[in-house]
Amino acid sequence: MGSLDYLLAALTPWNLLLALGGVIAGTVIGALPGLTATMAVAVLVPFTFAMEPAAALIALGAIYTGAIYGGAYAAILLNTPGTPSSIATTFDGYPMARKGDGDLALTLACLGSVFGGLVGAAFLLVLAPPMATVALKFGPVEYFWLGLFGLTLIASLGEGSTIKGLIGGGLGLLLSMVGVAEVGGDIRYVGDFKPLLGGIDVVSALIGLYCIPVLIDLVATPVAHLESGSRVASFRLAEALRIIRRSKFNLARSSIIGTVVGILPGAGGSIASLVSYSEAKRASPRREQFGKGEPDGVLSTESANNATVGGGFIPTLVLGIPGTPPDAIILGALLVQGIRTGPTLFTEQAPIVYTFIWGLILATLIMLPVGLLIGRFAFRSILAIPKAVLVPSVALLTVLGSYAVHNNVHEVQQMVVLGVLAWGVSRMGFSASPIVLGLILGTIAERGFVQGHLIGGARGSVLAEFFARPISLAIIFFIVLGLLWPWWAARRVRIAKEKNA
Amino acid sequence: MREAPTRADLPGAIGSGIMVVIGAGAIWAARDYSDLGAVFPRTVGALLIALGIVYIVLVGLGRTRRAAAVDGSSVRRALVAIVMLAWGFTLGPLGFLPAGAAAMAALLLIANHDRWTLRTALAYGLSCAAVLGLLYALFKHALQVPLP
């Protein structure tokens, strides 16, 4: 069978219906704060057990891609990431919505998600086997350096003082250590409060850190929660396409970053969107506008997080190693279907795999009209709701979202306590984003460091383990670049100003 | 012409002072951990202390800028924080619906800046009740989440 035959196999009315239904269901679930893409896939996976393998994969891929995109709604309209993948979308999406450009931000998010999703799927189609081999070479030490690389992004995320950003990152790192240490089993910073033994749940923390401060500040003044732009009734598609034409390199770079990060097992959409946001900011001539409502910020994060869908399927299908948490659930569904993933999958069960990949591409294309329509409806609805009703409703979503992750009331308590603390430290000029970055990357960096240290010790040289591996050296180069870049950029601006003076 | 001096970031200095204390506490607590388990806590604790002191020194030297003051009612802000904390800690003992209804009613009262009329009270109250009921049904019955 040729590629066209697989495309035709994916184009059956049943498969198209599954793709449409999956995208809609995923988008709606992803839009609810606290309900992650993982949960969307997990909740809906039993419906696929009775389907043909290719149809089941198409449905799951559509749910996954829709949920990742759906996270952008709450991020843009409520400053609360619907899914962890849309953390970085809040940085510019919410400021855009506050300025009356929420409809434009939603359209950009949709277009960016579709583009990123297509790039990820194209990589899956063409480059799956060779790229998965590279990902397999990532050991604990590489993950340690990758975690440190992510932490250097704090320098570019700091709104104002870099030192305050680094202090916030340190606080997040400390929070990531709460509970039983993964290696060694030390019980750290728990005291007598036993519910903290399991650590601080990232999703609950995200909801608290991002949403509670917004709720607290929303009630303080009678000013409307969002400005309604003069062209609120339209998609602002032409304007969005003009921005995309201007930012085509940003879009392509972010999609490739998302795909590559998606390939790394365990990394996922949140890291992809943060890395691509940082790179977009570094490369942009309008970097001063990032964090204040820059459309390029929304484009970069949304294209990157949707590109992780296709990227994450590469190690999942080729190696049987899930690239992202939803991939782990899809892997389980494949086993239920009797499909064994591995390098031979693309030859022995090629019809299923390639029909699925084309189905994923079709689902991503379907997301364009579906996403634009749902986005328009969501924006108009949020605008129409009085603030007095919106505040308790969003508060309810935060409670439900943090509870539903593990059905645990202690995680609701973590969420509100961290949220109130985040509001407190925000009054002192410490923003939530570096804390979140520290919380997410702390575990990855520490696990990699401890395991690398143990392996290095067993091999006779810890230093060689950390500093003599080619991939590690490449990441170290980018870490140094990331640390020096803000200083170099500031120096360049100062020199330019002196020349103009 | 000299630039006008910016206001010292006193809240930032206070926050940095708190971080120095947190960093010291992290290092102190790490004395009971194994060698490998203590590496990260000690490093991050030391980082917090060092950065906190650097920021306080910068504030002392007048090389920091204070963030713009926020406007609006501090009482309402504090009330929302109290209601959310109370909601989180009464969710288990009271159950989802009673705790949710009480907290949403309190938040509705705090968030409304307009004059209350019978019509707005009914409309807003029923809207919140509908949201609570719908989400309860969605999570409890459709998504099978065992709500308390």
Mind listing the pLDDT tens digit for each residue in B72-117? Answer: 888 999 999 999 999 999 999 999 999 999 999 999 999 999 889 9
CA distances to A194, A223, B42 from A188, in Å: 11, 44, 12
Q: Which of A304, A357, A314, A259 is nearest to A61 (CA)?
A: A357
Single pTM value for the model: 0.74
Q: Are B31 and B89 in a shared domain? A: no
B88 inside domain: yes
Q: What is the predicted pLDDT for the residue at A230?
A: 41
Number of domains in chain B: 2
Inter-chain contact B72–A417, Cβ cutoff 8 Å? Answer: no
B72: chain A residues, CB-CB within 8 Å: 217, 220-221
Inter-chain contact A416–B85, Cβ cutoff 8 Å? Answer: yes
B66 inside domain: no
- Give the burial class of B109: count Cβ atoms within 10 A of its Cβ; 0-12 exposed, 13-18 middle, 19 or more buried: middle
Q: 3-class SS at A338?
A: coil
Q: What is the predicted pLDDT for the residue at A188?
A: 93
Q: What is the predicted pLDDT for the residue at B4?
A: 43
The answer to whether the beta carbons of residues A321 and A134 sit under 8 Å apart is no
Model confidence band, residue B18 (pLDDT cutoffs 50, 70, 90): very high
B17 inside domain: yes
Query: Where are the alpha helices (H) located in chain B, listed in sequence order?
Result: 10-29, 35-60, 74-94, 96-111, 118-137
* Radius of gyration (C-alpha) of chain A in whole angstroms: 22
Q: Which amino acid is at A288?
A: E
Instruction: Please give the average per-residue pLDDT across A1-16, as a whole number.
Output: 79
A310 vs A27: CA distance, rounded Å = 17
The answer to whether the beta carbons of residues B16 and B47 sit under 8 Å apart is no
B22: chain A residues, CB-CB within 8 Å: 171, 174
Dihedral sign for Cα A417, A420, A426, A431, please: positive
Mind listing the pLDDT tens digit for each residue in A229-254? Answer: 544 456 788 899 999 999 999 999 99
Assign residue B68 a region: left if phi > 0, alpha if psi is -120 to 50, beta otherwise? beta
A101 vs B97: CA distance, rounded Å = 36
What mean pLDDT, rounded, does chain B reach? 89
| pLDDT exceeds 70 at position A452 | yes
Tell me, rounded to whole angstroms, the distance of Cα A496 from its chain centroid. Answer: 36
Model confidence band, residue A71 (pLDDT cutoffs 50, 70, 90): confident
Q: Are B41 and B84 in a shared domain? A: no
Inter-chain contact B111–A186, Cβ cutoff 8 Å? Answer: no
Assign residue B5 a region: left if phi > 0, alpha if psi is -120 to 50, beta otherwise? beta
Q: What is the predicted pLDDT for the residue at A414?
A: 93
Mind listing the pLDDT tens digit for each residue in A93-135? Answer: 989 988 888 888 989 999 999 999 999 999 888 877 676 666 6
Q: Are B17 and B48 in a shared domain? A: yes
B69 inside domain: no
Inter-chain contact A167–B72, Cβ cutoff 8 Å? Answer: no
Q: Write out the residue range of the structural domain in which residue B128 sits.
A: 74-142
CA distance A92 to chain B (A): 19
B4 vs A140: CA distance, rounded Å = 51
Between B123 and A129, name the one with better pLDDT.
B123
Across-strand partners of A188?
A179
The answer to whether the beta carbons of residues B109 and B75 sit under 8 Å apart is no
- What count of CB pairs under 8 Å joins A to B? 203
A188 vs A442: CA distance, rounded Å = 14
| pLDDT exceeds 80 at position A2 | no
Q: Are B130 and B106 in a shared domain? A: yes
Mind listing the pLDDT tens digit for each residue in A454-498? Answer: 888 888 888 888 888 888 898 888 888 777 766 776 676 677 667
Inter-chain contact B76–A396, Cβ cutoff 8 Å? Answer: no
Chain A's closest residue to B112, CA to CA, is A388
Mind listing the pLDDT tens digit for each residue in A334-376? Answer: 777 777 776 677 777 778 888 888 888 998 999 999 888 886 7
DSSP A193: -
pLDDT above 90 as % of chain A: 18
Tell me, rounded to whole angstroms, the distance of Cα A448 from its chain centroid. Answer: 21
What mean pLDDT, rounded, does chain A reach? 82
Range scoring the smallest mean pLDDT among A71-75, A93-97, A494-498, B14-18: A494-498
Inter-chain contact B85–A417, Cβ cutoff 8 Å? Answer: yes
| pLDDT exceeds 50 at position B5 | no
A323 vs A38: CA distance, rounded Å = 12
Q: How many residues does chain B have?
A: 148
Q: Which of A37, A186, A202, A196 is nearest to A117 (CA)?
A: A37
Dihedral sign for Cα B80, B82, B86, B88, please: positive
* ipTM higher than threshold 0.85: yes
Q: Are B87 and B132 in a shared domain? A: yes
For A404, how many CA atoms within 13 A lie in the half-sphere containing its CB? 28
Q: What is the predicted pLDDT for the residue at A46?
A: 66
Select from B3, B7, B9, B51 the residue whose CB has the most chain A CBs within 10 Å, as the one to mutate to test that interface. B51
Query: Where are the alpha helices (H) located in A219-349, listed in sequence order?
Result: 237-246, 248-263, 269-283, 295-319, 325-336, 345-348
A168 vs B48: CA distance, rounded Å = 9
Mind listing the pLDDT tens digit for each residue in A164-175? Answer: 888 998 999 999
B100 inside domain: yes
Select from B18, B71, B77, B117 the residue whose CB has the most chain A CBs within 10 Å, as the one to mutate to test that interface. B77
Mind listing the pLDDT tens digit for each residue in A197-225? Answer: 888 987 788 778 877 888 898 888 887 66
Residue A347 has which token pair? 């030859």
CA distance B119 to chain A (A): 14
Instruction: Please give the average per-residue pLDDT across A65-82, as a whole number.
Output: 83
Instruction: Please give the average per-residue pLDDT across A381-392, as a whole number.
Output: 82
The answer to whether the beta carbons of residues A261 and A311 sit under 8 Å apart is yes
Q: Which of A201, A221, A239, A173 is nearest to A411 (CA)?
A: A201
Q: What is the predicted pLDDT for the residue at A471?
A: 85
Residue of B15, B44, B64 with shortest CB distance to A170: B44
A328 vs A323: CA distance, rounded Å = 8
Q: What is the predicted pLDDT for the residue at A496?
A: 66
| pLDDT exceeds 60 at position A317 | yes
A388 vs A219: CA distance, rounded Å = 8
pLDDT above 90 as % of chain B: 64
Q: What is the predicted pLDDT for the residue at B145?
A: 82
Q: 3-class SS at A180?
A: strand
Query: Where are the alpha helices (H) located in A199-236, listed in sequence order?
Result: 202-218
Assign residue A225 a region: left if phi > 0, alpha if psi is -120 to 50, beta otherwise? alpha
A171 vs A169: CA distance, rounded Å = 5
B40 inside domain: yes
Inter-chain contact A427–B11, Cβ cutoff 8 Å? Answer: yes
B114: chain A residues, CB-CB within 8 Å: 222, 388
B5 inside domain: no
Q: Are B50 and B80 in a shared domain? A: no
Q: Are B79 and B132 in a shared domain? A: yes
B47 vs B23: CA distance, rounded Å = 8
Residue with tokens 């896939």: A41
- Give the burial class of B17: count Cβ atoms within 10 A of its Cβ; 0-12 exposed, 13-18 middle, 19 or more buried: middle
The residues in A 367-406 lying below 8 A from B, measured between CB atoms, are 386-393, 395-397, 399-400, 403-404
The answer to whether the beta carbons of residues A90 and A79 sit under 8 Å apart is yes
B46 inside domain: yes
CA distance A164 to chain B (A): 8
